[in-house]
């Protein structure tokens, strides 16, 4: 769900069919529905582009609770250069609403997708 933004495809490098261009205003948001098999801490990776040199801060909430305020989304060098900003937040088992809300008059970055990893990535070694 997108409010205060539009889906566009005029900058290369996005995945899927496009990305969200937030309005240049506070309060616009992109909300993702994430279904988790079990409750647990998750890594939320937001793939984005910001062709300016100023941060485009966003509050990240899960099920209405802000879990990461003012995530900066710094400039990536070009609107066609995409990077991933990660935050951690707890998910409940079942459906979660992950929302990224712009907090400044510049609006958010251009947002391509959300990658979710539930649980702590671990490395196991023999012996």
Distances (CA, A) of 102 to 19, 41, 125: 15, 23, 42
C-beta closer to ligand GCU: residue 43 or 80: 80
In sequence order, which ranges of 1-127 are alpha helices (DSSP H)?
none
Angstrom distance (rounded) from CA 20 to CA 48: 9
Binding-site string for ligand GCU from residue 18 to residue 37, where x marks contact by CB under 6 A and - marks none:
---x--x-------------
Q: Is 76 in the site for ligand GCU (CB under 6 A)?
A: no
For ligand GCU, how many residues bind (rule: CB under 6 A)?
A: 6
94-113 residues in contact with ligand GCU (CB under 6 A) are: 107, 110
Q: Is 81 in the site for ligand GCU (CB under 6 A)?
A: no
User: Tokens standing for 109?
Assistant: 């970055």
Binding site for ligand GCU (CB under 6 A): 11, 21, 24, 79, 107, 110
């Amino acid at each position: 769900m997108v409010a205060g933004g539009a889906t566009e495809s005029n900058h290369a490098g996005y995945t899927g069919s496009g990305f969200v261009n937030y309005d240049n205003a506070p309060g616009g948001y992109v909300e993702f529905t994430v279904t988790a098999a079990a409750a647990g801490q998750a890594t939320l990776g937001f793939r984005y582009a910001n062709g300016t040199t100023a941060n485009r801060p966003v509050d990240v909430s899960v099920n209405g609770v802000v879990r990461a305020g003012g995530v900066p989304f710094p400039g990536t060098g070009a609107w066609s250069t995409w990077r991933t900003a990660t935050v951690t937040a707890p998910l409940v088992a079942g459906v979660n609403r992950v929302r990224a809300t712009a907090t400044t008059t510049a609006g958010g970055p251009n947002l391509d997708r959300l990658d979710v990893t539930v649980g702590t990535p671990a490395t196991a070694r023999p012996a």
